[in-house]
Amino acid sequence: MACKTKPVVNMEQLIITGRTKALVHAIIGIKTGWRHEEEGKKGITHFLEHAVFLGNSNHPSPDIEAAEYGVQLHGMTLPEHTLFWFTSTKEDFAEVFKLFLSLIFHPEFNKDKIERERKDKITPAVVHESDFTLGELAYEWAKNLTFNWDFRLSLGKEKDIASLTKEDLEAWHERYYNLLNSFLVIHGNINESNVAKLVENANIPLSGENPSPFEIQWKKKEISIEREGMKNVELVYGFKLPRYDVRYEILSVILGNYPLSKFWVEKFSKFAYTLGSRMEWTSTGGGLFLYFGAISHDSARELDENLWFLLKNFEIDNKKLQAAKKIKSLEISRGKEEGEHGLLNLVLRNPFQKFRDFKEMGEELNRVERDQILALAERFLKRDNAVKVVISPRK
């Protein structure tokens, strides 16, 4: 598998060439997300993600046109990125990619279509806490405290969405949808010079603004939420991390994977019905999140005491380290075989395109040593670097 990482006509790119692949998976990313929205514009990123698929004069019915190739066009609004992606056969890739570039970088905002999309898709998508399971809600609040954002604003405010105009969408697009604020990731049997020509011929604006994230200072490290009708207690701990490092992925496996977890021993399993761990990265740092589903208030207190005792005395042997590496290596290998889903995971878990392909990420993981894991745990898994969210039954 060959790969290249270099600017394509000033667009950052990652091309993973799979010579035996019959399909091509392509992602275009815009380095702007809901975390960059100022007051009065909450929801514009998600609105624009939908609006680009409403078509232009060259492609008035893009979904129908894509379907003629058996292709579906997708979009996703994230905190600091907007992603667009599709999968096609290698024979149809060039035509679908030209359609894709035209829609994303040269939309035409038809007022009637925009109003229908606002009414039918954008306003109903506004986030409410009731949209989440209680465990997921605890995760989201832990990320709020860790990253200084508010997940409830991720798809906008109804008041702001109602006030957004065609001109607002055009201005946002002009500010951020350009070559220098976008990137391209492709996995498939394609010719990179042909890709470069397609990008060049798309007449994409060269430059615009680089967005800066807005932050919310919560001024607290712990939140307790009470809910009616629940029996268990949901606990999530978040640990702030300074920058992307693949060694944190190993640490996450060691802490949150059932067979290996330092937590899933007698002192923990009798107090919790489940546990887990997650990683997330942003331009301003990362977070490692530990989740416990406690069976009662008393169990939650026991878990809390046991957690801090274990982290203070954290230890890992080489056997479990090797097992953790194999778990992550298998996850990476599955990603290689999982088509567009695997490519999306590579982008999300490789946010700064440090790794050029699945293989390079696996090689970096295999170089991780026990002493490095112990040093990371000692440095970052501490009370003064943690946030905590508790969701429990209303007393």
Q: Is the pLDDT of residue 3 over 90?
A: no
Mean pLDDT within 105-132: 96
pLDDT at 5: 42
Asked which of 44-48, 82-86, 357-361 is least confident by mean pLDDT, the reply is 357-361
What length does the chain have? Answer: 395
Q: Is the pLDDT of residue 197 over 70?
A: yes
Q: How far apart are CA 329 and CA 348, in angstroms?
A: 16
Q: Is the pLDDT of residue 7 over 60?
A: no
State the pLDDT confidence band at 6, using cuts at 50, 70 and 90. Answer: very low
Residue among 350, 187, 328 nearest 280 (CA): 350
pLDDT at 266: 61
Cβ within 8 Å of residue 348, ≥6 positions away? none
Mean pLDDT within 362-368: 87
Instruction: Identify which has the larger pLDDT, 342 or 23.
Output: 23
Q: What is the pLDDT of residues 296-307, one digit of tens each?
A: 999 999 999 999
Question: Widest CA span of the chain, in angstroms?
Answer: 65
Topology of the domain covering 2-201: Cytochrome Bc1 Complex; Chain A, domain 1 (3.30.830)
Q: How far apart are CA 155 and CA 150, in angstroms?
A: 11
Is the CB of residue 2 less than 8 Å from the CB of residue 173? no
Distances (CA, A) of 382 to 224, 234, 388: 20, 20, 12
pLDDT at 9: 54
Q: Is the pLDDT of residue 361 over 90?
A: no
Q: Is the pLDDT of residue 355 over 80?
A: no
pLDDT at 264: 66
Q: What is the pLDDT of residues 242-294, one digit of tens each?
A: 988 888 988 998 888 766 666 666 678 889 888 899 999 988 889 999 999 99
Share of the chain above pLDDT 90, in %: 67
The average confidence (pLDDT) of the chain is 90
Q: Is the pLDDT of residue 21 over 80?
A: yes
Query: Which residues of the chain does CATH 3.30.830.10 include?
Result: 2-201, 222-393
State the pLDDT confidence band at 1, using cuts at 50, 70 and 90. Answer: very low
pLDDT at 10: 66
pLDDT at 297: 92
Residue among 216, 45, 39, 251 nearest 143 (CA): 216
Asked which of 3-12, 37-46, 209-218, 305-314 is least confident by mean pLDDT, the reply is 3-12
Q: What is the pLDDT of residues 60-95, one digit of tens each?
A: 999 999 999 999 999 999 999 999 999 999 999 999
CB atoms within 10 A of CB 363: 13
pLDDT at 335: 73
Q: How far apart are CA 203 and CA 105, in angstroms?
A: 8
Residue ranges of alpha helices (H) inside 202-296 are 247-256, 266-269
Kindly state which CATH superfamily the domain 222-393 is placed in: Metalloenzyme, LuxS/M16 peptidase-like (3.30.830.10)
According to DSSP, the β-strands at 233-241 and 386-393 are antiparallel
- Radius of gyration for the chain, computed over Cα atoms and rounded to the nearest angstrom: 23
